Chains A and B, each alone.
Chain A
Amino acid sequence: MTHRERNKVKVVYHWSGSGNIGALAAALHLGFLATTDGGSQVATEINLPFEGGFTGKNQGSLCFVGRAREGEEIYIFPRGKKPALPLKTLKETVRLLEADPADYYLVDCDFCLKQGKSQVLITLSRIVTQVKEELAD
């Protein structure tokens, strides 16, 4: 993918909204946090935005958090505990607005929570790395 093509890409890290896992993924993607095991400790100690997660009244808000050096826009999306309908609505709205759904890269971060608390950041780092690699192809 060229830099120009990558400029169109929007990576949306989505999770239930409880806790800061989506914000953590976005911070990793944007390079604000070290992704090595040595950096894991630092990451858990700093104050990230949205640390307390999103309450019910804020769930569903698609938030732009930054543009990666490689060009893609990074969003977080606290979509509630049942993701199917909010994600479908998001994709359908993209179509409705005549944008290209293929430009939206939806990444489920709740998947990491199944790995156990101590492994969350490591698993999240791997996912972010995988996303970046796929975008680079």
Chain B
Amino acid sequence: MKVIYHCHGGAHSSVVAAHLHLGNIPMQGEVPPEAIMLLPEFDRATSEDWGSPKLVGVDGQGNQVYILGLGRKTAICIRAATSLCLQLRKGGEVVFVETLSSIGALTRIGGFTSKVLGAEHLGRTLAARGIVKSLERLRQLVASTKKIYGME
């Protein structure tokens, strides 16, 4: 199965969700912002990358885990991708998981500061701190995804 964690930019919440899924970030306990900032894909994707799923890794069960940014076209693009999966009779092979709703304002402000205003260091730091605050919600999202699709 292919699991695609998607958000607005494909640089923050989806990255952390993917690494939670892969076990690179623990599902319990505290995680410092510095550990989030060390993730190779964190705050990296640009608008040029939107629309292209990026493989982050393969979990213990052989499921491929991807991240994807879709900008403001999330609804249309997800509908396009899912309807194509259905047309090709591969509806059971791909799971799209929306991560943006699991994060708060701080990560969004951080992302905007880094990607739109160009203040990368400040933006990354704010986004990472925001992620730490939202980590429990992201963990719940990943845990639910694994449970629903039998990937535990």
| A residues adjacent to B (C-beta < 8 A) | 56-64, 75, 77, 79-80, 82, 85-86, 88-90, 92-94, 96-97, 99
Please tell me if the beta carbons of A62 and B83 are within 8 angstroms of each other in the complex.
yes
- Please report B residues at the A interface, Cβ cutoff 8 Å: 2, 50-53, 66, 70-71, 73, 75-81, 83-85, 87-88, 90, 93-94
In contact, A85 and B73 (Cβ under 8 angstroms): yes
Give Cα A111 to B51, complex, Å: 23
In the complex, are the beta carbons of A90 and B81 less than 8 A apart?
yes
Distance A63 CA – B87 CA, assembled complex (angstroms): 8
Taking a contact as CB atoms under 8 Å apart, the answer to whether A89 and B71 are in contact is: no
Q: A89-B70, A89-B81, A97-B84 are known contacts. Are A79 and B53 too (CB-CB below 8 A)?
A: no
- With A85-B70, A96-B94 already in contact, the answer to whether A64 and B87 are too (CB < 8 A) is yes
Residues of chain A with a CB closer than 8 A to B75's CB: 56-57, 59-60
Cα A78 to Cα B115 with chains together (Å): 30
- Contacts A60-B75, A64-B87, A97-B88 hold; do A79 and B51 have CB atoms under 8 A apart? no
User: A94 vs B87: C-alpha distance in the bound complex, in angstroms?
Assistant: 11
Whether the pair A93, B84 counts as a contact (CB closer than 8 A) is: yes
Measured between beta carbons, the chain A residues less than 8 angstroms from B50 are 85, 88
Q: Closest residue to B6 on the A side, CB-wise?
A: A89
Q: Which of A75, A80, A93 contacts B81 (CB 8 A)?
A: A93
Q: Are A60 and B83 CB-contacts (below 8 A) given A82-B73, A85-B73, A96-B2?
A: yes
* B76 CB contacts on chain A under 8 angstroms: 59-60, 79-80, 85-86
Tell me, in angstroms, the Cα distance from A63 to B80 when the chains sit together.
10
Q: Looking at B81, B85, B93, which has the most chain A CB atoms within 10 Å of its CB?
A: B81
Given A60-B76, A93-B84, 18 extra CB contacts under 8 A: A57-B75, A60-B80, A62-B83, A79-B76, A85-B70, A85-B73, A86-B73, A86-B77, A88-B50, A88-B52, A89-B51, A89-B73, A89-B81, A90-B80, A93-B80, A96-B94, A97-B85, A97-B90
